[in-house]
Structure 1
Amino acid sequence: MAASARAAVVGFGPPAAAAPSQPLEYVNLGDSFSAGSGVFPIAPATVSQCWQSEQNFSHIIAQRLGYRLTDVSCGGAKTDDFYSPQHPGTRAQLEALTPSTELVTVMIGGNNNDTFGGAMTACIGAMLTHPGSPEPCKVMYGNSLTEPVETNTYPALVQALSDIHARSPRAHVIIAGYPNLLPSSGSCIPQIPIAPGDVPFMRDLQSTLNDAVRRAAQETGATFVDMSAVSEGRDGCKPVGQRWIEPMLFAAQPVPVHPNADGEQALATEMLKAIGERNAQTG
């Protein structure tokens, strides 16, 4: 057969089969807000102490986009748990990352220095020991609750995000701030029993933490998702159906002062926007 004839035969043959596309590799890291602790059902094959939900925002994102998810988020996690196992049966969270990881989502920082839990305990205790005082927690603790966020949490966040980028240099790294736990002012009693004057004091602490997250993202080239504005009016003092955060008392799930299913959906929605914007820029 002449070369031209052979070329004609080849040209009219069936097209070569396209290589099967692989799902995008996606890793979720972080604490109980990232794990969706308290939102049922619990993700199968996870360590029970982590309270990881199969309806947390990363599972919603992976299902929506068809990504292959590795979720190592765990309730109670600090940035230290990125580097060493938090519980028997867990691994250092950063070990989930590989050079081929293409998307990483994170929520972390609220447990560093016991920021959220410690402040909540301190302010509830201050109200109980100083009944009638308008802002006993602020009077007793002043800047001592916010200072560790600047001196300890912020550099830890910068280091953690830098190490994520080092392990997964191709990845789009998204870190979310925390949604509002409390309203900007007014009483939240009895749902969250702290003095009315300490409500803005606690909001200021959360704003300080969220700003540390934002600045760490900016410094390391990660994408920051701000949950403050979108969660206004969705705090733990609001009624069922309106709130994204469950209250301390009368919570509708076993882990109070954490996002409920609507809160995890809201986190997924905002992160999906960030993913879409990035894909539009790079596509």
Structure 2
Amino acid sequence: MGAALLFARAALAPAGTAAASTVTAGRTTVDYVALGDSYASAPLVPTQVDATCLRSSQNYPSLIAQSRSATLTDVSCSGATTADLTAPQADGVPAQLDAVNRRTDLVTLTIGGNDIGFSTVLGTCAQLTATDPAGTPCRTHFTGTGADRISDAIARTGPKVAQVLRGIHQRAPHARVVVVGYPDLFPDDGVGCTSKTVPLAMGDFAWLRDKEKELNAMLARQAVKGGARYVNTYTPTVGHDLCEPTGERWIETFAPETPAAPVHPNATGERVMASAVETALPRHSWHR
């Protein structure tokens, strides 16, 4: 979602950079704007079309636009937080909401993971694993004061997501707005895996799973309250988390074996996310 992408930026060849990528597939009156973070932009998934935002031509917004013959303005950007929707992001990336206007018919949004610092949390968990490989060193670290710091961060992020949704509706009052949740990163049964490429303590898998579910539940609540549709990408990806073997894994490990950023969807994961959004959209029209 954020810090884990530092190596990905270094690995990406310094190709030309654009503030947004626009795809037009056939003649259409549907104007689609994609907003969000790295789970929307798909860093390192071929083919990368924006070196600054690590945006792929095969991310879920591009796949939806291709399937529906829509005009896509994709401003999703790796590392984005809710603040980057209304103000310029680092590296001179414009505020994402600048792409939304009264002509916009559809908006998809994947956001919140960087607001709670999830990549930093994972980095901390990986560092603590050696102290208690069979236990819960990460959960203990973040809950040892009696409060769950990640739950608190999720609660603080809710109003920020609500503000983003209000901003979308103000700019595009007739648009259909879809909040896209995060896919299943960890084994849904809570049973972890032992691997050099997944350096997490066995007891922390269930806690991390629960924190992701908590984040998704918050996004679902804010979508309903904010006049948007929530799309669950978690359930369709259960059984294809980062502990699964290559070929069955749609979320890559901390050391990806297929082109994708660490603990992010690979190309198959992005296709499944696209399918989940498509299922939630009307077959013949995207207008509200």
TM value normalised by structure 2: 0.84
Distance 1:196-1:278 versus aligned 2 partners, 3 A rule: farther
Is residue 106–residue 286 contact of structure 2 (8 Å, CA) maintained in 1?
A: no
Are residues 29 and 199 of structure 1, via their aligned partners in 2, closer, same or farther at CA, if it must alter by over 3 Å? same
Q: Which amino acid aligns with 2:132?
A: P
Give the total of aligned pairs: 256
Q: How far has the Cα of 1:89 moved from its partner? A: 4.2
Which residue number in structure 2 is paired with residue 6 of structure 1?
none
Distance 1:206 1:52 in 2: 23
CA deviation vs aligned residue, 1:182-227 (integer Å, no higher than 9, x gap): 1032222213111111000100110111011001101011000011
Partner in structure 1 of residue 69 of structure 2: 66
Correspondence for 2:125? 123
Structure 1 residue 234 and structure 2 residue 259: aligned? no
Q: Measure how far apart 1:113 and its partner are.
A: 3.0
Give the deviation of 1:141 after TM superposition.
Answer: 1.4
Structure 1 residues 204-219: aligned runs within 5 Å: 204-219=210-225
Are the aligned partners of 2:105 and 2:286 in contact in 1 as well (CA < 8 Å)? Answer: no
Asked whether the equivalents of residues 38 and 258 of structure 1 are also in contact (C-alpha less than 8 Å), the reply is no
Aligned to 1:137: 138
The answer to whether the Cα contact below 8 Å between 1:23 and 1:66 also exists between their aligned partners in 2 is no
CA distance in 2, matches of 1:92, 1:276: 29
Residue 83 of structure 1: how far off its partner (Å)? 1.0
Hey, what does 2:32 align to over in structure 1? 26
Bigger mean CA offset, 60-69 vs 84-93:
84-93
Find the aligned partners of 1:182 and 1:135 in 2 and give their Cα distance.
15
- Distance, in Å, in 2 between the alignment partners of 1:278 and 1:120 is 41
Q: Which residue number in structure 2 is paired with residue 13 of structure 1?
A: none
2:54 is aligned to 51
- Distance in 1 between residues matched to 2:158 and 2:191, nearest whole Å: 29
Q: Counterpart of 1:230 in 2: which secondary structure? A: helix
Residues 68 and 281 of structure 1: CA distance in aligned 2, closer, same or farther (over 3 Å): closer
Distance in 1 (alpha carbons) for counterparts of 2:107 and 2:80: 16
1:78 to 56, 77, 81: 81
Q: CA deviation at 1:272?
A: 0.6
Q: CA deviation at 1:249?
A: 2.5
Shift of residue 275 of structure 1?
Answer: 1.2
Contact residue 78 and residue 112 of structure 1 kept, 8 A: yes
Determine the structure 2 residue equivalent to 1:18: none
1:101 aligns with 2:104: yes
Q: Which residue of 1 aligns with 2:91?
A: 88
Question: Could you say which structure has the larger radius of gyration?
Answer: 1
Counterpart AA for 2:257? A
Q: Distance in 2 between the 1:66 and 1:280 partners? A: 12
Query: Corresponding residue for 1:158?
Result: 162
Matched, 1:271 2:274: no
| Runs of 4+ deviating beyond 6 Å | none
Query: CA offsets, 1:142-188, max 9 Å, x none?
Result: 111221111x2111111111111111011000111100111032222
CA displacement, residues 18-59 of structure 1 (integer Å, 9 cap, x when unaligned): xxx74311100000001011201112xx3x121000000111
Q: Which runs of 5+ in 2 are unaligned?
A: 1-26
- Picking from 259, 262, 270, the partner of 2:265 is 259
Unaligned runs of 5+ in 1: 1-20
Shift of 1:132: 4.2
Instruction: Describe the SS at the equivalent of 1:163.
Output: helix
TM-score calculated relative to the size of structure 1: 0.86
Q: 1:133 Cα deviation (Å)?
A: 4.8
Q: Deviations over 1:71-92 (max 9, x none)?
A: 0000010000001111334210
Question: In the alignment, residue 187 of structure 1 is paired with which amino acid?
Answer: G
2:112 alignment partner, SS class: coil
Q: Greater share of helix residues, 1 or 2?
A: 1
| Aligned sequence identity (%) | 36
